Structure 1
């Protein structure tokens, strides 16, 4: 029978092994969710977790559902459907000590134009190379703002509810009461003032629209994922603006369209950039493999694996298990 003293001794030895495993990266801190620097990664794959590649379909229905009462804003758009499709990476990453509040997983959904070259994304070395500021990113949902250095705390943009489970698939949901994503959806649609086709930009209904007379519910996001696939959906309402150009300047007209929004992502695991999702925990947990030479599918893996790196990654997984066991024993 294991007692508290023997458990503490094992945990101490595992902590020592983790320190050894980080010898190729003297700044590596296993208490944080950043990948070690012994692998080359862009600012999209900077965190411990699972990454899924897929496509996202966006459907916009002007004046549908509860927005039907506002069709007088722009009758030309009534009974139309606007669709967009994007190449997508969904990052589901381990929360860290800088995350505030309850956060079972950091979810970063990024929508890119078709044919985008992901290898062009830089390794973050300055504040203007962070993921949120990349000019090619057309739209994104960040459950908390991605961070590359620990400088204070990071608040959650979502209020996740994690359905009870003992293993994957994990199912989460949130109502976005004070967050409307980053960016918008551009499309060429009929003008409100004639038959010409003009550029529009559509945005998920922002929370700060309260008080303007548009009484529509907040968007709801649902997420489910396991070791192979992930799917995410966002359902809510949008507002749209005609794009106004005056010389070299681009602006927006007054609000002219309101309608229903449905966003759907289906993706498969990108094993090359992903750590191993543990299959026996009631909250998302990852065995650290990227940079540890213990998963031949990962970026940076070589056939001559480092024994200390393997030990270190296994130690982190064992650390999580034994900490849970230790707390249970003490309880």
Structure 2
């Protein structure tokens, strides 16, 4: 890393460490927002655990029809693609965050899962934008992320069930049902993009995939019923693994900014999205791992961290003084690099 980058990182750590709930006049304890200016962008606004990792997408086309034949029993429009498997990979961030009084429903956590182009430079994200404005490629959200203190009754987009346990790892599962596409600013906002050959197999092109639910599929007057996509995530204070399985309707890509476009070719495929990630210690609060449901001790931006663990996980969490010392040492060391 370049010397100037190290210096900027050092002073960024220092600035984040100096902000706490006690000197944020807008802080409201009943909400799950962190104190203002703790993080440099809006991906980490909420109390919880954040995991960095890689997402693998497997697409297996099994049939295809032209747009004039939706609902037809004939589904052999792309025989060259049937039975093949194509894969795509993305950098990813999985956020499992604390619920607040703004959330309606009974889920125990909020799930915000975003896929980004490989090698994406996260330092380019602006703090004055919202997560909805960021250029993530695809996202899975259990509810719309709250962006303002005055929001109320934020609905759940799908229900999560917590497997009965007395300690971590926690296991959450659910189905993306009829409510998933109902007026959300996030659910289904973007298509799943992957590369695959054209129907005649002459070249690779981008394809857009739309995750199908029973409700969405019925709107196309199809006589075929596909099950709702299933979701599962296991996590503790070190790692997280996620799987999303279902079916997609896919068509040759019409660009990242489009949510749907006319296509002469539609194919249907099985899809499996898998994520494996590790905890982002700097951006994550302390996950209590000895309870039946996930809970967090508020540490990021709350000035109560020390160099010993504050929670049952026994993971080191670096407090304000530690961050200041590390930042100073890093800035001094960088002068000699």
Question: Normalising TM by the smaller chain, what interval?
Answer: 0.7 to 0.9
Equivalent position of 1:12 in the other structure: none
- Number of residue pairs aligned between Structure 1 and Structure 2: 272
Q: Distance in 1 between the 2:26 and 2:136 partners?
A: 30
Equivalent position of 2:283 in the other structure: 273
Q: Distance in 1 between the 2:105 and 2:288 partners?
A: 23
Q: Distance in 1 between the 2:202 and 2:168 partners?
A: 51
Q: Distance in 1 between the 2:168 and 2:74 partners?
A: 42
Deviation sequence 1:167-215 (CA, Å, 0-9, x none): 2111110011132644222234332357344332122214311132332
Equivalent position of 1:89 in the other structure: 93
In the alignment, is the contact (CA less than 8 A) between 1:142 and 1:181 conserved in 2? Answer: no
Equivalent position of 1:6 in the other structure: none
In the superposition, the TM-score normalised over structure 1's length comes to 0.75
Equivalent position of 1:301 in the other structure: 320
In the alignment, is the contact (CA less than 8 A) between 1:290 and 1:299 conserved in 2? Answer: no
Equivalent position of 1:107 in the other structure: 111
In the alignment, is the contact (CA less than 8 A) between 1:39 and 1:299 conserved in 2? Answer: no
Instruction: Evaluate the alpha carbon distance shift between residue 194 and residue 225 of structure 1 in structure 2; reply closer, same or farther with a 3 A threshold.
Output: closer
Unaligned runs of 5+ in 2: 1-19, 64-72, 181-186, 308-315, 325-337
Equivalent position of 2:173 in the other structure: 173
Deviation sequence 1:46-83 (CA, Å, 0-9, x none): 0000000110100000018xxxx875132121122111
The range that moved more, 71-80 or 294-303, is: 294-303
Match of 1:72, SS state, is coil
Instruction: Evaluate the alpha carbon distance shift between residue 197 and residue 118 of structure 1 in structure 2; reply closer, same or farther with a 3 A threshold.
Output: closer
Q: Distance in 2 between the 1:177 and 1:154 partners?
A: 17
Equivalent position of 2:191 in the other structure: 184
Q: Would you say 1:230 and 2:237 are equivalent positions?
A: no
Instruction: Evaluate the alpha carbon distance shift between residue 203 and residue 26 of structure 1 in structure 2; reply closer, same or farther with a 3 A threshold.
Output: same
Instruction: Evaluate the alpha carbon distance shift between residue 38 and residue 185 of structure 1 in structure 2; reply closer, same or farther with a 3 A threshold.
Output: closer
Q: Distance in 2 between the 1:198 and 1:265 partners?
A: 24
Q: Distance in 2 between the 1:93 and 1:162 partners?
A: 15
1:172-251 to structure 2, matched below 5 A, reads 172-178=172-178, 179=180, 181-192=188-199, 195-206=202-213, 207-210=215-218, 211-243=221-253, 251=261
In the alignment, is the contact (CA less than 8 A) between 1:71 and 1:78 conserved in 2? Answer: no
Q: CA deviation at 1:300?
A: 8.1
Q: Distance in 2 between the 1:141 and 1:278 partners?
A: 24
RMSD: 2.4
Equivalent position of 1:63 in the other structure: 62
After the TM superposition, list the runs of 4 or more consecutive aligned residues in structure 1 that deviate by more than 4 angstroms: 296-300
In the superposition, the TM-score normalised over structure 2's length comes to 0.74
Deviation sequence 1:240-269 (CA, Å, 0-9, x none): 112369xxxx93305520011001001111
Unaligned runs of 5+ in 1: 1-20, 306-331
Q: CA deviation at 1:164?
A: 1.2
In the alignment, is the contact (CA less than 8 A) between 1:220 and 1:235 conserved in 2? Answer: yes
Q: Distance in 2 between the 1:144 and 1:161 partners?
A: 15
Match of 1:50, SS state, is strand
Match of 1:79, SS state, is coil
Between structures 1 and 2, the one with greater helix share: 1
Equivalent position of 1:324 in the other structure: none
Instruction: Evaluate the alpha carbon distance shift between residue 94 and residue 77 of structure 1 in structure 2; reply closer, same or farther with a 3 A threshold.
Output: same
Equivalent position of 1:25 in the other structure: 24
- Which among 259, 262, 266 is matched to residue 269 of structure 2? 259
Match of 1:23, SS state, is helix
